[in-house]
Structure formats: structure tokens, C-alpha cells
Amino acid sequence: MPDLLVISHAATNAVNRNIYIKLQELGWNTALLIPESIQFSSGRKAADTKRTIDPVIYLKPLLGNNPRTYIYEGLTALLDELKPKIVLLDNDPVSRLAVEAGKWCRKNNRVLVCQSCENLAIDLRSSFQRGGIKSIPAAVYKYFLKRRSLPLVTSVFTISKEGTTVFEKMGYKNVCQIPLGFNPCIFFQNEDSRKRIRNELQLNKPVIAYFGRLSKEKGVHLLIEALAGLKDLEWTFMIDRFDLYATSYHVFLQQLISDHGIADRVVYIDAGHEEIAEYMNAADAVIVPSISTPKWKEQYGRVASEAMACGKVVIVSASGTLPELVGECGIVFPEGDIVALKNELKRYLNNPGQFNYLKTEAAKRAKEYLSLPTQAAIMNNMLHQLITSKVMSKN
């Protein structure tokens, strides 16, 4: 019988199980319920194979594709079988899954905790302001989901101040902000990796890097435009290799690079999550130029914390959680402002040495406040508090 049952579609990806390994190391008898497979825009992905270090894993079919409405086949039967003390749902509390898990927890006097990345208000007025009349049916559905889940959810874990405010205003109890921790065994200042990668790629100029998803809201085109205005300075642009014709945005990025005549300054890399750290170490400055849209703003930006841990100069836009993440240990520019981004890059490229203090402070901040051990310690403390409160209320 596990103390903690984690229900998580994100844990189909093995790297997202690392936090639960940490909790297990802290004494929590942990089990994971994850989908056999999950549908993405690029196709259906099967769950990664269980590693020897992973907690016990239960695979179940996931019925539906929308995180608000999908449900696991046989969920109640599994809960009846395992009888966990805490159900940790890695999903928004405003969801069908939270309602179903919450009903079981209330019936069996157990604790339900929901983890959410949400940082946008979902009330009717806010939804209408963002999406107009077409957004109202979905907003009404969310309203009724909230009404049903509100008395069933014991606590909500958020990843930002904005997210904390959103759920506190909705009336959820015990809302606690916890970082999405990076693995400090992978992301750290590594001079050997830096020398090796720079030699392999023949990097002998300052390297400006972008890591992560290539989509319009991530603002990669802004970074390309800013760099194109600095051709009189020495730099190399490092970016993940992308399929030129996978999306219209990929075609647009490639055309932008070609039109500005900077193709000879671009270095493309192919790297998995753990290999990215080596390329981060080879870089000098890492840019996260996200742009908010009516329906999205940067929820976290884990690349920023990982790059900070590697001792990089991190330049981020003011979208969502990014300024909160870097604090005073990074550079923040107004989102969408190409001129401001160009000026910050110019300031860095003209005198990289004056930013050395930022590298040291960034690495220190990342390790202390944003790492996996920090995330696990906060979660461990909060889960123990919730268990204690539940026992005391029962007595």
C-alpha cells in the first residue's frame, strides 16, 4: 500500500519522474499511475520504459485527449486496491480527473493534492476578455468543474506567484508555490564540457543560444531579428536543429535567417534533455524571448533555471514567470521589444566581462531555490503537514 499515489500524464516522459524518485528517497512509499500512451499534435507517444530507479508504475488507458476532461480507465478500482494516504494529481484542480479522484478521497478520508502550471484566470469575465464570445461555453464548463472540485481538493501546488493568486482567488485551500526543479547532477558549471563542445563545433566567438520548443509564442523570431541588427559584432547563434518544413513557423525562421544573411553564423545542435547541459555550458548567453498571447503566457521557463545553473548570462522577456524565475540574477527586457533585446545583447557582446558577476549569482540562485532537491524538500514538508492535518481533523 503506497503512502503516495501520483497520477501524471507528464510522467510518460521518464525525466518527469525524477521528482518522485526524490520523494521516495525522502521516505515516501510512492507509486505512479501514468497513461499507456498519450496523444500529441505530432502523434501518439507510448510511455517511456520503466527505469530501475523509478517508483512502482501502473499503466492505464487514458480516455480522451483534453486534460480538463480525460479520465483513466479503471481509476476508482485502482484507488480501491492501493488505498493511498495521498493522491497527488499532476493536473489542474479544475478538471474531471480532480473531481473523480476527489470523490474517492473524501469517501475514504484521504488527501488530494493537485499540481498545476496554470497562471491565467479562468473565470467568465477573464475568459471573455481573452477569447470573446466563443470562449464562454468552455468557461461555463470550467466554472462547474471548479464548483465540484473546490470542496474535494485538500491543497494546490503551483509554480508561480501568478498561479498562486489565481487559485487563491478561486477559493482553493492550502495553495503552495513550489519550483519545477532541475537536476543539479546534470545542469551545473562544467568547464570540461564547455571546452569539448566548443572544440567539436569550432566555436571561437561569443555564443548566443536558444534552447527549447520552436513556436511563435516562444519568440525565436525576435531573437533572430535582434541578432541580425548586430552583424557588426562577433557572435555565433546556437539553436536546436529543426525540421525545415515541419510547421509554417519553422519555414518562417529559416527564411528569416536566410533573408538577414546570417546563416553562416548559425550552429544547429541535436541533443536530448541530458545532453543539452553540455551545449548550455558551451554557450555564453542563453535567451528566453517568450511572448504572451491572449490565451498563454510563459508558465515557468525551465530552460532559464537550467542555464542559470550552468553559470550562463540569462536574458529573458517579461512574459509570465520569467522575471520571477531569474530575479536579480538575469536580464529582463520588455516582451516583444526587438530593440530592447538587441540593446541588451549589444551591451553584453561589447563587454562580456562586466556580466561575470551575474553568472556566479545565477548559479548560486538556481542551486539554492530552483533545483530538484529544493522542490522535493518543499513538497516533502507540505505533504507531511497535510497528512498531519488530516489525522488531527479525523481525531
pLDDT above 90 (res 13) = yes
pLDDT above 80 (res 274) = no
4-181+371-394 CATH fold: Rossmann fold (3.40.50)
pLDDT given for residue 390 in this prediction: 66
pLDDT given for residue 42 in this prediction: 67
- What is the percent of the chain with per-residue pLDDT over 70, rounded to a whole number? 97
Q: At what angle do helices 96-107 and 136-149 cross, to 10 degrees?
A: 10
| Confidence tier at 127 by pLDDT (50, 70, 90) | confident
Q: What is the mean pLDDT of residues 271-291?
A: 93
pLDDT above 90 (res 116) = yes
pLDDT above 90 (res 286) = yes
Q: What is the mean pLDDT of residues 342-363?
A: 95
pLDDT above 70 (res 224) = yes
pLDDT above 80 (res 246) = no
Q: What is the mean pLDDT of residues 211-236?
A: 96
Output the 3-class SS for 28-50: CCEEEEEECEEEECCEEEECCCC
pLDDT above 80 (res 43) = no
For 24, left (φ over 0), alpha (ψ -120 to 50), or beta? alpha
pLDDT digits (tens, 9 = 90+) for 371-381: 999 999 999 99
Please give the single-letter amino acid code of residue 178: I
Q: Which residues, in sequence order, are bridge partners of residue 210?
A: 239
pLDDT given for residue 132 in this prediction: 86
| Confidence tier at 39 by pLDDT (50, 70, 90) | confident
pLDDT above 60 (res 245) = no
DSSP state of 335: T
Q: What is the mean pLDDT of residues 194-205?
A: 96
Q: What residues have CB less than 8 Å from 39, skipping those under 6 apart?
A: 45, 65
pLDDT given for residue 277 in this prediction: 96
| Rounded alpha-carbon distances, angstroms, from residue 72 to 100, 153, 286 | 10, 18, 39
DSSP state of 51: P
> Whole-model pTM?
0.93
Q: What is the mean pLDDT of residues 52-78?
A: 95
Q: What is the mean pLDDT of residues 87-93?
A: 97
CA neighbor of 112 nearest in space, from 132, 129, 98, 127: 98
The separation between CA 215 and the C-alpha centre of its own chain, rounded to angstroms, equals 15
Are 62 and 72 spatial neighbours (Cβ–Cβ below 8 Å)?
yes
pLDDT given for residue 178 in this prediction: 97
Q: What is the mean pLDDT of residues 181-195?
A: 96
pLDDT given for residue 131 in this prediction: 85
pLDDT above 70 (res 314) = yes
Burial profile 56-92: b = 16 or more Cβ within 10 angstroms, e = fewer: ebebbebeeeeebebbbeebeebbeeeebbbbbbbbb
Structurally, at CATH architecture level, domain 191-369 sits in 3-Layer(aba) Sandwich (3.40)
pLDDT above 60 (res 392) = no
In whole angstroms, what is the distance from residue 313 CA to residue 320 CA? 19
pLDDT above 70 (res 393) = no
pLDDT above 80 (res 70) = yes
Tell me the three cell numbers of residue 193.
564540457
The DSSP secondary structure of 263-321, one letter per residue, reads GGGEEEE---HHHHHHHHHH-SEEEE----BTTB--S--HHHHHHHHTT-EEEEESSTT
In the chain, which segments carry CATH 3.40.50.2000? 4-181+371-394, 191-369
- Does 78 or 389 have the greater pLDDT score? 78
pLDDT above 60 (res 146) = yes
E strand spans, 73-154: 86-89, 111-115
Averaged confidence pLDDT in the chain: 94
Q: What is the mean pLDDT of residues 250-272?
A: 93
| Confidence tier at 118 by pLDDT (50, 70, 90) | very high
pLDDT given for residue 395 in this prediction: 41
pLDDT given for residue 65 in this prediction: 87
- What is the percent of the chain with per-residue pLDDT over 90, rounded to a whole number? 84
Tell me the three cell numbers of residue 173.
485551500
Are 246 and 383 spatial neighbours (Cβ–Cβ below 8 Å)?
no
